[in-house]
Amino acid sequence: MKRIIPLFLLITTLVVGNPLWAQSNVKPLNEKKTTRKLGTLIYYINNYYVDTLDMPGLVEKSIVATLKQLDPHSAYISEKNVKKANEPLVGSFEGVGITFQLFNDTILVISPVPGGPSDKVGIQAGDKIIKVDGKDAFGEEITNQWVMDHLRGKKGTRVDVSILREGSKDLLDFTIIRDKIPLFSLDAAFMLDKHTGYIKLNRFAKDSQKEFDKALDSLKNEGLQNLVFDLRGNGGGYLGTAMKIADEFLEDGKLIVYTQGIHQPRQELDATTEGGFEKGKLIILINEGSASASEIVTGAVQDWDRGLVIGRRSFGKGLVQRPFPLPDGSVVRLTVAHYYTPSGRCIQRPYDQGIKKYYGELNERLKHGELYHRDSIHFPDSLKYTTKNGRIVYGGGGIMPDIFVPFDSTRFNNLYSSLIRKGIYNTFVNNYLNQHRQEMEKKYKTVKTYNNKFEVTDEMFDEMINLAKEKKVTINEKELTPNIDYYKLQLKALIGRNLFNQNAYFEILAPMDIEINKALEVLNEKNGFDILK
């Protein structure tokens, strides 16, 4: 069994095990123009500058500024935050549940932790936190520690944040109730029909493979023949976990991924004999939030024509980071290599126009219509590759699905966003269960019974809409009327999640999930998988 290592730790052992070899291709350093020059400058500032300075802080800012000139994923982690950096993958904490990066002295949300407090109220990747509890949350004084001090806290405590979101003129206000951030990386596992199982993974964490194997075995006992593997919104995690899960689908000896950099020779990682689902029909769901380790698994499955990929183009992160310790206990995660899919694709998006444009690229996809029309996406011939069976695929900007499913802007409209963001759904669910929890628990002993027999009545839905009006949510009938059935199902799913678990939420929503329905449609077509031949 392969040892689990973080994605950014992929080649640490290789380099540390042979440090002289690792340095053999490094261009000699001109110390007079680099290290000695920098050290002399720090000496002059410390000993001759007119005012007293926080020299460690000044050096930290210099490091951060330097790394910004490299790539979007090289990062500095202070000594205080080293232990916290991997908590979403290896531990737990109480707080609002986001991963973030300080960009231009502003808190940039990289992604909300799926199922966490921020995710529940509608915080999105790309949001910028401008205020926390009414105080400005931008400027030079905003550090990683400042963010930790203000956003982390005991379960049940409240924090108000104001968000700047691309496309919105005004700040958006959110009230977040801190909670214990979910430890489990597997959100759901259940049968979609008699022969088709569904597994949703939100990140590739330390124990994800164990969770996946347990879910797979359980579904096999229920008659699993086909699998829909949902990696939508999965931002990545441990490479070792991604390798093991890709190994579940691929035959012994097949290449999963390889890495290579100017100072790092090619290193190949192959599948073993351990696969638990190498023969059945496989569909992977992805979208613009699927990144890094998710793209490794998806790329391997696609390149070997092992399964179909359905959804929208993935994020496009193909860089490998390695942690380098600094003398004070802090760490620099430095990009040292690219990773490549079996066909030779590097799916890293360009970042030569700066970090701001890099992280704003997803919004550009929206503006250009890519989320709605496949024809809006253009790849140059220079990025063309072929799969095992000769199908054309492209590198240079994420994984392009085999079957495109557009984003449903009519369903996920401004009204839906407001209901989530203003906490209307959660407030109603909490109020409803405060009054009816005991009778609900007696009446519905299982998720299946609840899903089959409980219905959100018109009176319940009207009560929620009235609550929204009280909270100053504008009710646009053109947005509401066509989507009432989905909004009711969302309410039912949220009540189910509160009564049972996260799995119940996804199982209840599945019948109206567009990508899942497309997957089932393809699985039920006689020639649905002919594209792979």
Instruction: Tell me the catalytic residues.
Output: 292, 303, 317
Report the C-alpha gap between 212 and 287 in whole angstroms. Answer: 20
Contact call for residues 515 and 311 (beta carbons, < 8 A): yes
Amino acid letter, 115: G
* 391 exposure class (CB count in 10 Å sphere: 0-12, 13-18, 19+): middle
Contact call for residues 75 and 333 (beta carbons, < 8 A): yes
Report the C-alpha gap between 181 and 187 in whole angstroms. Answer: 13
Contact call for residues 108 and 144 (beta carbons, < 8 A): no
Report the C-alpha gap between 492 and 457 in whole angstroms. Answer: 10
20: number of Cβ within 10 Å: 6
Percentage helix, strand, coil, to 5, in the chain?
Answer: 40, 20, 40
Report the C-alpha gap between 146 and 254 in whole angstroms. Answer: 46
Q: Which H, E and C letters describe 300-316, residue by residue?
A: HHHHCCCCEEEECCCCC
Angle, CA of 323, 325 and 326, to the nearest 5°: 135
Amino acid letter, 441: E
